[in-house]
Structure 1
Amino acid sequence: MLTSHGVRRRPVQKRSIERVERILDACAGLLDEVGFDSLTTSEVARRAGVPSGTVYQFFDGKPGMMRELAMRNLELLIERLRRRAAGEAMLTWPRAAEIVIEETIEMRRTVPGFTVVDFADTRPGGPSFLPDGETEEGGDVLADRLYAFAVEEAGLPPLPDPHRVMRLAIEATSVALALAFRAARQGDPAMIDQGRRLLRAYFADVSR
């Protein structure tokens, strides 16, 4: 797992690793139950079965938990994309965009807390919880990791101005999913299809 801001101490021993995972699991479950604003570190600790001080032993409170949860979600997304790409004989950028939105939708439906905090506060204008990217163009690690995975692991050809392309695609996907899940717990299929079509057309154009 990548190092992220907000983590005070990275666990090494198995017992500590399991404790941190329990804290993050409790955090994710509570996000679904009480929402972002009402989440407290004390309730996370109670749900995880650890003293409140244990949360602060590893995280700088709520912001740190959000950052690490976002990083865990990113690692989960990359693993899901890795499995999907392995089953695609002739992967293209438009098809890759479809796979990303499909897997993100499935995570919204099945991963605890993901509709509240995926890689950011999912409410309109919500801040990202991921570290900044390492490119001159800026952005965050989500754009960096998705592009690196696509080119270095999935074998897709490089794109012109890739980090701006990835950032725009990420923002467009976020808006489409926010609209799709606003009124339907499982997502509005018609709005999801519109988002998929938008991304396919965009990547078909930029990858020509």
Structure 2
Amino acid sequence: MRCPRNRHPSLPWLVATALSVGVANAAGPCGPRHPCAARNPCAPKVNPCAGRKPGTAMPPGAAKNPCAARIDPKLVARPTNYKPYQGNQKALVAYGEKLWHDTKLSTNGLSCNACHMNHAAFQPTFAQPYPHYVAMTDQQMGLKKVHLDEMIQACMVMPMAAKPLPWDSKELAALVAYTERVQKTFDPKKAAAANPCAAKNPGAARNPCTAKNPCAARR
């Protein structure tokens, strides 16, 4: 359809067109919300680690941010003469799996699974044997390498905003045992490929709701 030469479309025609396009957009394939727009399970209402550099002061009235100030590395570093809890490995793995999903370990409703479900939020370095470099512990604590139990303690202190677990506790040993099991199944390449937001954005293709303007044709 083309507009008459040297004439603009009438107001009734514009109104009718706008209404029809609006209805098409509401009911068409562009109506559903983009699958990557869902709320990140690791993003609480106020992300404790978002956008603030270590050591910076919090604005007046803001909730206490566990990631705002530099964390004392002694909270997560193995103590002198450290002797971890010893127990049946199979039983520890089973107990660790329960703790992995337990939000009661945190003070903000998070669990290990909240951020790491289906290997989410793991850096490629997670596949490397511990101890190894972890950016989070380096930036917040100055630790260049951490053991797995130290990494778990760091997650307890920072994202989960809780106290570190007792070093000789069954809970810490169980989380270490289960996380080792998770680590064995982690493949950085497969994890990246499985991320629905890592692939090309489905909205990047031509939008079927943006029909060509009938007046855009050459007059």
Q: Does the alignment reach a TM-score above 0.5?
A: no
Higher helix share: 1
Greater RCO (Cα-Cα under 8 Å, separation 6 or more): 2
Name which one, 1 or 2, has greater alpha-carbon Rg.
2
Q: TM-score, normalised by structure 1?
A: 0.29
